[in-house]
Amino acid sequence: MSQIAGKNHPAVRNHIRKSRADKTFDWIIYTIAVLMTLLALYPMYFIVIASISDPNQVAQGNVLLWPKGLSLDGYKHLFSMGNLWTGYLNTVLYSLVGTLIMLVVNIPVAYALSRRDLVGRGLFTFFFIFPMFFGGGLIPTFIILNNTFHMVDTFLVMVLPFSVISYYIVVSRTFFQTSLPAELWDAAQIDGCGNLRYFFTVVLPLSKAILAVIALWAAVGHWNSYFNAMIYLRTPSKYPLQLVMRNILINNEMAASAMTGSAAADINRKANLIKYCAIVVSSLPIMTMYPFVQKYFNQGVMIGALKG
Which residues lie below 8 Å from residue 60, measured CB to CB, with a gap of 6+?
none
Q: What is the DSSP letter of 156?
A: G
> So what's the pLDDT on residue 153?
92
How far is residue 29's CA from residue 26's CA, in Å, rounded to a whole number? 5
Cα Rg for the chain, rounded, in angstroms? 27
> So what's the pLDDT on residue 8?
56
Q: Both ends of the chain: CA-CA distance in Å?
A: 40
One-letter amino acid of 173: R
Q: Which of 110, 104, 107 is nearest to 170 (CA)?
A: 110
> What is the pTM (predicted TM-score) of this model?
0.78
How far is residue 145's CA from residue 240's CA, in Å, rounded to a whole number? 19
Per-residue tens of pLDDT for the chain, all 308 residues: 445 455 555 554 555 566 777 888 889 999 999 999 888 888 888 888 888 888 878 777 788 888 888 878 778 888 887 788 888 899 999 999 999 999 999 999 999 998 888 888 889 888 888 888 887 788 999 999 999 999 999 999 999 999 999 999 998 998 898 888 888 888 888 888 888 899 998 899 988 888 888 888 898 889 988 899 999 999 989 999 888 888 877 877 776 676 666 666 677 777 777 788 888 888 888 777 777 766 666 555 555 444 43
Q: Which of 135, 166, 163, 156 is nearest to 232 (CA)?
A: 156
Range list for CATH 1.10.3720.10 in the chain: 73-306
* Dihedral, CA of residue 194, residue 196, residue 199 and residue 200, to nearest 10: -120
Residue ranges in the chain assigned as alpha helix (H)? 2-7, 10-16, 20-51, 55-59, 73-79, 82-114, 121-129, 138-143, 166-179, 182-190, 195-198, 208-224, 227-232, 241-257, 261-306
> So what's the pLDDT on residue 2?
47
- Domain 73-306's class? mainly alpha
Which residues lie below 8 Å from residue 113, measured CB to CB, with a gap of 6+?
121, 124, 125, 128, 169, 173
Sign of CA dihedral 65, 71, 74, 79: positive
Q: Which of 157, 112, 160, 165 is nearest to 135 (CA)?
A: 165
Which residues lie below 8 Å from residue 84, measured CB to CB, with a gap of 6+?
78, 241, 244, 245, 248, 281
One-letter amino acid of 168: Y
